Amino acid sequence: MKSFFFEKICITILLSTTPIFAYQQNQEDQIQCESIVEVVKIDSFNPDIIIQNLASLTFHIGELKTHSQNIHQHIVFEENEVDQLWNNSSQFYLLQQYKLSDQERKIEEFDFAYKAYINAIDLRTKNESILAQDQLNEAFNIVSTIWCEAIDFDLNRPKQFDQIIDSRALKGNISYEISKNHHNKSDLSYLPKSILDKMSPYIISEDHPMKSRLDAIFTKNRVTQNEKAFSKAGFIPKGKPGLRSYVQVASHPKLPGYLVKVYFDNELREKQHKPSWKWLIQRCLGAEKIDEIINKKKLKHFCVAKKCIYPLPKEPTPPLTGKYTRHLAILLVTDMKLMSERINLQAWKEKITTKHLDELYTIISYAKGSSYRPDNINYTENEKFAFIDTEYPTKGPDFDRIRKFLSHDMLKYWDKLVKNGGK
């Protein structure tokens, strides 16, 4: 595998002692930069390319370390494709205003990751699987961290940076049904401050159209005590609680246009040993990230359910016995009007186009996350595909699980997208 891109990095770092913002101000520096390093031209710099290549590279290394030699059912990257991903990803430091010392350190880390990856490939050919796994873990941890940092900066970068790199896509407003500065009049003093601080950005606002209706439903009885109490309060369950999530999804006549996701108090199990309120926060965070990307990138074929947390009232409480626990909150989500499972699977086979896949690749590259399957990205009545399960916002990228649901032609296109780091 070639390592020519590190020569480009070494040349570029010498020119990067001045922050990238200064290139436009200092004409001589800009001329010098363009004449020495052809690949680093401000007018052609595209953050999407770097982030998408980092996403595909992270995915590739993750697949190697997870599936070892058994990759016949997964996306197989050719050597030249991996070379190109490393090469395109190597400009990651241009996305941030690193100080020179930090820039040098980051590039050294990236160099180390590349060498660890090369060593791992060599060790695998020698059947040194344990040593190869260690090297792949090193490479994955570094590249995935750089990918996450690049996403965070790109989605929150200063306006003057947009002007320099001419990022036309990052415009638009986000319309979200939570208020990070809302004034909640409900008595939440019973919640520990450590929990309330984490939950508060996603708590339903007092002026939300469903807030008073939720209060009316949940202040009379402990509605979430068990399935019987839940149904008695007028909720209409959609199936049974999730086998792995333990969440019950339901509608209610007094909550038109919305669904709730609840944990019953007689459900004592904890998914991955985490309390239920943490999973609700993760669902909100995942939905918020996807919503932000869809809006900023002006994507047309996908949408996401709006989510907010409704803390259950202090009273009434569940029975004080060992058969019950106290779940602190429920999730309120917009009803996305999902089509049936049969129609959904058919839509993934027949209605998905290259434009859909371009958008999906962008979303996964920026949103991270996992479990991207048709049951979590469901076809809707308005002919969009809705992200409905967003509780893993820090995992990923997961480019693999959707593959078996695509048509032959779309599968070929998807694999090409992933291996090329985008178009």
Cβ-based neighbour number of residue 148 at 10 Å: 15
Q: Which amino acid is at 106?
A: K
Torsional sign, CA 372, 378, 379, 383: negative
Cα separation, 387 vs 408, in Å, equals 23
Cα separation, 176 vs 288, in Å, equals 8
Indicate the burial class of 364 (C-beta count within 10 angstroms; 0-12, 13-18, 19 or more).
buried
Of 332, 345, 357, nearest to 404 (Cα)? 345
- Residue 157 dihedral angles phi and psi, to the nearest 5°: -75, 155
| pLDDT digit string, tens, across residues 281-305 | 999 998 998 999 999 999 999 999 9
Helix (H, G, I), strand (E, B), or coil: what is residue 259?
Answer: strand
Question: What does each C-alpha distance from 11 to 91, 143, 281 come to in angstroms?
Answer: 12, 21, 44
Is residue 279 a contact partner of residue 198, using CB atoms and an 8 Å limit? no
Q: What is the pLDDT of residue 320?
A: 87
Is residue 371 a contact partner of residue 28, using CB atoms and an 8 Å limit? no
Against a cut of 0.85, is the pTM above it?
A: no
Concatenate the DSSP letters of all residues of 74-100 into one string: SPPPPHHHHHHHHHHHTTGGGGS---H
Q: Which amino acid is at 418?
A: V
Helices (H) and strands (E) in the chain, counts: 14, 8
The CATH number of 47-155 is 1.20.120
Q: What angle do CA 331, 152, 15 make, to 5 degrees?
A: 180
Give the side-chain half-sphere CA count within 13 A for 176: 28
| pLDDT digit string, tens, across residues 87-135 | 999 888 777 665 666 778 888 999 999 999 999 999 999 999 999 999 9
Concatenate the DSSP letters of all residues of 127-150 into one string: T-HHHHHHHHHHHHHHHHHHHHHH
Q: What is the pLDDT of residue 391?
A: 66
Do you know the residue count of the chain?
423
Helix (H, G, I), strand (E, B), or coil: what is residue 291?
Answer: helix
Q: Which amino acid is at 406?
A: L
* Tens place of pLDDT per residue across the chain (423 aa): 544 444 444 434 433 333 333 333 333 333 332 322 233 443 456 788 999 999 999 999 999 988 654 444 588 899 999 999 999 998 887 776 656 667 788 889 999 999 999 999 999 999 999 999 999 999 999 999 999 888 888 777 654 444 433 333 233 333 334 344 344 556 788 899 999 999 999 999 999 999 999 999 999 999 999 999 999 999 999 989 988 889 999 999 999 999 999 999 999 999 888 999 999 999 999 899 899 999 999 999 999 999 999 999 999 999 989 899 999 999 999 999 999 999 999 999 999 999 999 999 999 999 877 778 898 899 999 999 999 887 665 677 989 989 999 999 999 999 999 999 987
Torsional sign, CA 378, 168, 156, 16: positive
